Structure 1
Amino acid sequence: MRAGKNESDQELRARLEKLQTELGKQEEERRAETGGGLPVGGSFGKALSAGFTVLSEFVAAILVGALIGWQADGWFGTKPWLLVLFLGLGVAAGFYNVFRFAAPKDARGGG
């Protein structure tokens, strides 16, 4: 029984290798036909993910700053000055987050 299992495992491995080779050939043909198309290897997905991360951090910083300023204006009766101040701080924090995300590790101080 053990010998039969080893033979079937070897057959399956051979079929798997053959399928992988064929898939690789088809992928190369597709790339040649489309002129490369979208970046390969998940780089498009990584770039899209990075873009959404930067966008969400930037927008969140602005919204948090505006919300804090609006609420502080309500408490202290200084409309619209604290809203303007904290909105500006939110924009600055958003730009700082984008810089931190995009800067090389050396510029971040993380060596």
Structure 2
Amino acid sequence: MKIKTIDVLARECFDASNGNSYFDAIVTVNLGLKNELMFRLPFQYGYEGHYKDCAFETLKNKGLIVTDETMFGSYYKDNNIVARHSKKAGYNYQAMRVGK
């Protein structure tokens, strides 16, 4: 599959009682194209831009990207992939933890 676009929409929450941040995300490959593919990154520990790294690693694990490259930005640029990342913070930790 030729990848033209990668869109990652993440949600982040903060567990104040333990001082940890968590996220989940939806990753869409080739948004709006006939070969569009979407999958979810599960609720997991991470903060700031970690969701971007996890999306890239998941694409590699699924065999959609075959590379030894560890930096997603370099890979996307070298392969002319349009990448759009966004994250919204402030979600409720308890709700996200149970999948809401």
TM-score clears 0.5: no
Higher helix share: 1
Please, what TM-score do these two structures have when normalized by structure 1? Answer: 0.25
Higher strand share: 2
The structure with the larger Rg is 1
Please, what TM-score do these two structures have when normalized by structure 2? Answer: 0.26
Q: Which has the higher contact order (CA 8 A, sep 6+)?
A: 2
